[in-house]
């Protein structure tokens, strides 16, 4: 599964540390080499988080689905001593690696979210639809999720939206990636131009999936449904960058669609 790709012309705000690049053999975030891991993390962070999401160096940041530190690596040189980072993921091996690699950075913390996923964490304690983020309300200036809702089913996404809204401060920003089904995307699917295949309707008017035997492998959501969740949870959509997953022209070097929101 490919993750959201970075714009090739973007660069990180500062030089980053090579010791925060995981060994190739433990990568599970869709990248297949150290170079690709670096390029994706730097491009997404610079373009979508900093430039378009208006991330500030003193922000308190939540990376929900932090993987093995792809974006954390870049943020380690962007956030200053007033800023802080919390990374959550359901893959224990990634969290354990990050806890060791970032132990010299006291404002960077990583926690296991022991949440069930048939594909990624089949023996977990909690269902995503019931999970409560381990943070107080209004704690974060900035929350982002990359390649998370593309692997989650509707009741789980709805609960996560509620939790994201809860932990965001008023005026806090969110950056979230999706496969959004709209007229243009459906046209691309209908003409076979889509590189991500979602042939099965799981819930009409809500989402389509790639594999009925393991629905969470790939999930695409109807854009009006996703917009309704933003509205319900008082996060205003301020910008959408559409990716090339459905056959659009590859302008932004982003596979997935990216929504930037601000909590009202």
Encode the chain (264 residues) as per-residue pLDDT tens digits: 334 444 433 444 444 467 899 999 999 998 999 999 999 999 999 999 999 999 999 999 999 999 999 999 999 999 999 999 999 999 999 999 999 999 999 999 999 999 998 878 889 999 999 999 999 999 999 999 999 999 999 999 999 999 999 999 999 999 999 999 999 999 999 999 999 999 999 999 999 999 999 999 999 999 999 999 999 999 999 999 999 999 999 888 899 999 999 999
Structural contact between residues 149 and 238, judged by C-beta atoms closer than 8 angstroms: no
Domain contains 116:
yes
Say how many domains are in the chain. 1
Structural contact between residues 33 and 5, judged by C-beta atoms closer than 8 angstroms: no
- What's the rounded Cα separation, in Å, for the pair 68 and 227? 29
SS3 state at 199: coil
Domain contains 33:
yes
Q: Which of 156, 143, 147 is nearest to 235 (CA)?
A: 143
Note down the domain range covering 109: 18-263
- What's the rounded Cα separation, in Å, for the pair 184 and 220? 14
CATH number of the domain where residue 103 is located: 3.40.50.150
Rg (the chain; Cα; Å) = 17
């Amino acid at each position: 599964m490919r993750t959201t790709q970075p714009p090739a012309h973007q660069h990180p705000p500062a030089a980053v540390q090579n010791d925060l690049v995981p060994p190739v053999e433990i990568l599970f975030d869709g990248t297949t080499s150290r170079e690709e891991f670096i390029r994706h993390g730097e491009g997404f962070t610079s373009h979508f988080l900093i430039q378009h999401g208006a991330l500030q160096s003193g922000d308190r940041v939540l990376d929900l689905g932090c993987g093995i530190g792809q974006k954390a690596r870049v943020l380690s040189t962007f956030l200053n001593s007033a800023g802080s980072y919390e990374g959550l993921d359901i893959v224990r091996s990634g969290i354990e690696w990050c806890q060791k690699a970032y132990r010299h950075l006291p404002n960077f913390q990583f926690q296991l979210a022991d949440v069930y996923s048939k594909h990624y964490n089949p023996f977990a304690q909690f269902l995503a639809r019931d999970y409560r983020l381990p943070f107080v309300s209004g704690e974060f200036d900035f929350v982002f999720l990359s390649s998370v809702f593309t692997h989650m089913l509707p009741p789980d996404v709805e609960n996560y939206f509620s939790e994201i809204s809860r932990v965001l401060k008023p005026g806090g920003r969110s950056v979230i990636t999706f496969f959004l089904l709209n007229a243009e995307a459906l046209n691309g699917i209908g003409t076979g131009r889509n590189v991500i295949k979602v042939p099965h309707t799981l819930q009409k008017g809500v989402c389509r999936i790639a594999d009925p035997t393991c629905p969470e492998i790939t999930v695409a959501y109807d854009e009006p449904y996703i917009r309704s969740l933003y509205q319900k949870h008082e996060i205003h959509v301020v910008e959408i960058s559409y990716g090339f997953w459905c056959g659009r022209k590859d302008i932004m070097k982003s596979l997935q669609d990216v929504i930037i929101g601000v909590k009202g």
